[in-house]
Amino acid sequence: MQKPSGPLSGLRRSPLVRGACGRCPQCGQGRLFVRFLHYAAQCDRCSADFRAADAGDGPAVFVIFAAGALAAPLAILFLLVTRSVLWTGLIFIPLSIGLCLALLSPFKGVLFALQWVNRPGRAVSPDIPGDEDAG
Ligand SMILES: [Zn+2]
């Protein structure tokens, strides 16, 4: 396999960038999603098993915060300028929904990659006897 080179090669090797781009956090080549928001069972290039990691509902929370922080001030400003509740709703409700849908996949990939980097399925507890990895 040819190693990526250039000024962005270190950035492309980051699991976070790979996750945001929907690529395998381990190899950066395979696809992370098989459909919109559905993880593949394994990487089609390096056979990394994705079944052990799942971002759950975390990405939706972050997307709501990010989209709200972007859309709410713009909607308020638009409402103050136009003084039209109807046009503000007609423009910003679909815009907010579209923004949430556009951000959901990258956020889901990033949270998956963060979980992958921190070793999925290796949750340890100091309360479990014989769990020598626990600190
Ligand atoms: Zn892979």
Q: How many domains does the chain have?
A: 1
| Residue 72 maps to a domain | yes
Q: How far is the CA of 122 from the centre of ligand 1 (A)?
A: 19
Angle, CA of 120, 124 and 126, to the nearest 5°: 170
* H or E element, residue 38: strand 38-39
Residues with CB under 5 A from ligand 1 (ion): 24, 26-27, 30, 43, 45-46, 48
| Residue 80 maps to a domain | yes
CB proximity list for 27: less than 8 A, separation 6 or greater: 43, 45, 46, 48
Q: How far is the CA of 113 from the centre of ligand 1 (A)?
A: 12
Q: How far is the CA of 50 from the centre of ligand 1 (A)?
A: 9
Q: How far is the CA of 54 from the centre of ligand 1 (A)?
A: 16
Examine the pLDDT at 127 and tell me if it is beyond 80.
no
Question: How far is 87 from 27, CA to CA, in rounded Å?
Answer: 46
The separation between the first and the last C-alpha atoms of the chain, rounded to the nearest angstrom, is 38
Q: How far is the CA of 108 from the centre of ligand 1 (A)?
A: 17
Asked if residues 25 and 112 have their Cβ atoms less than 8 Å apart, the reply is yes
31 exposure class (CB count in 10 Å sphere: 0-12, 13-18, 19+): middle
Examine the pLDDT at 1 and tell me if it is beyond 50.
no
Q: What is the pLDDT of residue 56?
A: 83
| Residue 124 maps to a domain | no
User: Mean of the pLDDT values across residues 70-76?
Assistant: 96
Q: Select the more confidently predicted residue: 7 or 94.
A: 94
Domain span at residue 73 reads 13-117
| Residue 54 maps to a domain | yes
Which residues pair with residue 33 across a beta bridge?
A: 39
Question: Model confidence at 85, in pLDDT bands (50, 70, 90)?
Answer: very high
| Residue 132 maps to a domain | no
Longest dimension (CA), the chain: 66
Q: How far is the CA of 53 from the centre of ligand 1 (A)?
A: 14
Q: What is the mean pLDDT of the chain?
A: 85
| Residue 92 maps to a domain | yes
Question: How far is 76 from 91, CA to CA, in rounded Å?
Answer: 12
